[in-house]
Amino acid sequence: MSAPISALRQFFYRPWMLATLAALASAAVLLAASIAIALQQMKDSEMAQMNAQGERFLERLEQVFGQLREGVDELQAQPVRGCSPAMVSVLQQVGLGSRFIYEAAYVDANVACSNRGGARAFVPTRAPDIQGPTYSYWLNTTTEPNENLAALMLARGNFLVSTSRGHLTDVVDLPPGGSLLVVLDNGTRAIPVLGPPQAWPPTNGWPPPSQKSLIELQDRLVYRMPTRSPDYQLALIAPRASLPLRMNGMLWLLFPGSLLAACCIGWLVLQLIQQRRSMSSELQNALRRGELQVLYQPIFELDSRRCVGAEALVRWRRPDGSLTSPDLFIPLAENTGQIRQITDFVLQRVLEQLGQLLRSHRNLYISVNLAACDVMVPRIGSVAARLLALHRVAPSQIAFEVTERGLIDVVVARDNLQALRAVGHQVLIDDFGTGYCSLAYLQTLPVDCLKIDKAFIDALGHDAASSGVAPHIIRMAHDLHLRVIAEGIESEEQAVLLNSEGVNYGQGWLFAHPLNARQFAELVTRGRQPRRARINDEP
Ligand code: C2E
Ligand code: CA
Ligand code: CA
């Protein structure tokens, strides 16, 4: 690693630095999430406000139109026609009888009269905005800001009734600069009913293809509100930020809450790093004080039930007698790089403890687990060569197990594994099936044997989806002329089934637990199993 990179690594790999970075990163994420939630809530509240206004207006519109219809129906039903004083009195009666009718008028080709001005009546100058079979509707008959001028008008026969702008505005509290429009003719035309006139359509390509009711434009918000009538829709257009936006009280808590959570995360990271640091320094002491031990789990030929070798498994026995599982400290050692020391220690211990046994049983082998970093450099080959020469043991008696996860850089791994095989070591793929090794991938790797993971052996004979994995791996291995070892065999049925599927070798509690060196040597030389072999046996 180049000097600047390693300096950078050292700078960042400080507990306080990592904890601060974790706190800052989580604060950024949490604050961003809080802001996103806050904005969404504001948008929701904006929409709710617009919705409420639209609904109030719609309700009022229904009420107003209802009364206008009743009034014009009443006029149409009575017999008086023309502009006589009797008509003016009829018009005045209808006007007085209804809260929303501001003006009631009679108009024919010759005369016009109204309840308000006798012979003067307000007559629309344009065609109706909505033409129904019985009634004609005008939605905004004046643009003057006169509260008394007609805002809605309805006609039947010769009669016209209208309501004033004031009757509508008293229920709708439009935002400043906002307008309420009635949209007609499939969105092509809009008539402003309240508020200043607005350009229509509000954007190019109106109506937008999405069904969203709130459309955000650069400077305006357009809220479309469907009505019960297919003929018209309501649209509320308001300049952006004209609505009073209020943040939900809970949201204010999100910000300090996020900062607090970020501090907690930073603190947890700090604790975790310090714990890991202390565990890694404990492991260092353990290596120095000889607290690590190696056990051997025998591997059997399934046909003859003869022991052909063993897998070396490391154990950490603390001074208080408790055992720490390799599943806990091996991943940590892989991260800190201490795994190299452990691998060397296991190799050395294997040869020290079993050198003689291996020399007298030339077909016996011990397999040693390698971590990813052991596979990435050629170092382990030279360590093994030195120890094998010292103990006069053949390289073929030491096998190396690598997991699929350990093959991070396949090209580099392939060269190193090939070098190990070239001097006579066997190479095994451990936990096969749990990683992403495919058949094509496997073909390119220099390996002798596959170890099928215990999970697939457990599934054998069950209906589980994975029960077919082991037979598939076995067929695949045979096609590639690879040997197969089944791991974690716990029952006779599994052993028989695997043997019938063509698996030659197996290890598991059915045959033996991991044994200490003495027990393993006894098993090999006398073919005798210890009475009660447990994983935590004393060496
Ligand atoms: P692994 O290499 O897959 O080892 C097999 C594990 O399955 C061992 O657990 C073994 O004790 C356990 N086992 C064997 N037969 C049975 C069985 O019939 N039933 C059950 N339930 N379990 C069985 P162990 O010794 O706790 O090792 C756990 C893992 O730690 C190993 O998995 C290996 O990945 C790692 N490990 C152990 N020793 C070393 C080592 O020296 N170096 C490295 N790099 N990793 C090691
Ligand atoms: Ca293994
Ligand atoms: Ca395994």
Q: Atom 27 (ligand 1): residue with closest C-alpha?
A: 326
User: Mean pLDDT over residues 385-392, rounded?
Assistant: 97
Give me ligand 3 centre to Cα 431, in Å: 4
**Amino acid letter, residue 201:** P
pLDDT on residue 537? 45
Question: Cα separations (Å) of 65 from 24, 99, 169, 192, 424?
Answer: 60, 12, 15, 17, 98
pLDDT at 15 over 90: no
Q: How far apart are CA 129 and CA 10, in angstroms?
A: 77
pLDDT at 347 over 90: yes
Q: Atom 17 (ligand 1): residue with closest C-alpha?
A: 488
Mutate-to-test residue for ligand 1 from 313, 332, 398, highest number of ligand atoms within 8 A of CB:
313
Which of 82-96, 218-232, 345-359, 367-381 has the least mean pLDDT? Answer: 218-232
CB 371 near ligand 1, within 6 Å: yes
Q: If you ran DSSP here, which 8-state letter would residue 175 be given?
A: P
pLDDT on residue 212? 76
pLDDT at 325 over 80: yes
Task: Tell me if 407 sits within 8 A of 375, measured CB to CB.
Answer: yes
Which of 184-193, 367-376, 399-408 shows the highest mean pLDDT? 367-376
For the beta carbon of residue 141, count every other beta carbon within 10 angstroms.
Answer: 21
- Which CATH superfamily groups domain 295-308+341-526? EAL domain (3.20.20.450)
pLDDT at 533 over 50: no
Q: Which residues of 178-213 are buried (b: 16+ CB within 10 A; e: fewer)?
A: bbbbbbbeeeeebbbbbbeebebbbeeeebeeeeee
pLDDT in tens, 95-153: 888 888 888 999 988 888 988 876 666 777 788 888 888 888 887 766 555 555 557 88
Task: Tell me if 191 sits within 8 A of 139, measured CB to CB.
Answer: yes
pLDDT in tens, 360-382: 999 999 999 999 889 988 899 99
pLDDT on residue 247? 56
CB 98 near ligand 1, within 6 Å: no
Rounded to the nearest integer, the mean pLDDT of the chain is: 84
Mutate-to-test residue for ligand 1 from 343, 369, 434, highest number of ligand atoms within 8 A of CB:
369
pLDDT at 511 over 80: yes
Residues with beta carbon < 5 A to ion ligand 3? 430-431, 487
Which of 25-29, 178-182, 294-298, 462-466 has the least mean pLDDT? Answer: 462-466
pLDDT on residue 216? 77
User: Mean pLDDT over residues 257-278, rounded?
Assistant: 82
pLDDT at 538 over 50: no
Question: Cα separations (Å) of 35 from 28, 29, 30, 265, 296?
Answer: 10, 10, 9, 20, 58
pLDDT on residue 529? 63
Give me ligand 3 centre to Cα 391, in Å: 27
pLDDT on residue 491? 94
CB 367 near ligand 1, within 6 Å: no
User: Mean pLDDT over residues 227-249, rounded?
Assistant: 68
Which ligand is the nearest neighbour of the Cα of 406?
A: 1
CB 490 near ligand 1, within 6 Å: yes
Q: Atom 8 (ligand 1): residue with closest C-alpha?
A: 313
pLDDT at 421 over 90: yes
Give me ligand 2 centre to Cα 471, in Å: 20
- Quote the tokens at residue 425: 């070591």
pLDDT on residue 535? 45
CB 372 near ligand 1, within 6 Å: no
Q: Which atom of ligand 1 approaches the CA of 509 most closely?
A: 18
Give me ligand 3 centre to Cα 486, in Å: 9
Domain ranges of the chain: 24-242, 295-308+341-526
Task: Tell me if 351 sits within 8 A of 388, measured CB to CB.
Answer: yes
Q: Atom 11 (ligand 1): residue with closest C-alpha?
A: 514
User: Mean pLDDT over residues 498-502, rounded?
Assistant: 93
pLDDT at 231 over 90: no
Q: For residue 223, with 0-12 CB atoms within 10 Å meaning exposed, 13-18 middle and 19 or more buried, which class applies?
A: buried
Element (H, E) at 489: none
Question: Cα separations (Å) of 85 from 113, 118, 270?
Answer: 10, 8, 95
pLDDT on residue 224? 81
User: Mean pLDDT over residues 279-303, rounded?
Assistant: 92
Taken as a whole, the chain contains a residue count of 539
pLDDT on residue 536? 45
Portion of the chain with pLDDT greater than 70, in percent = 88
CB 431 near ligand 1, within 6 Å: yes
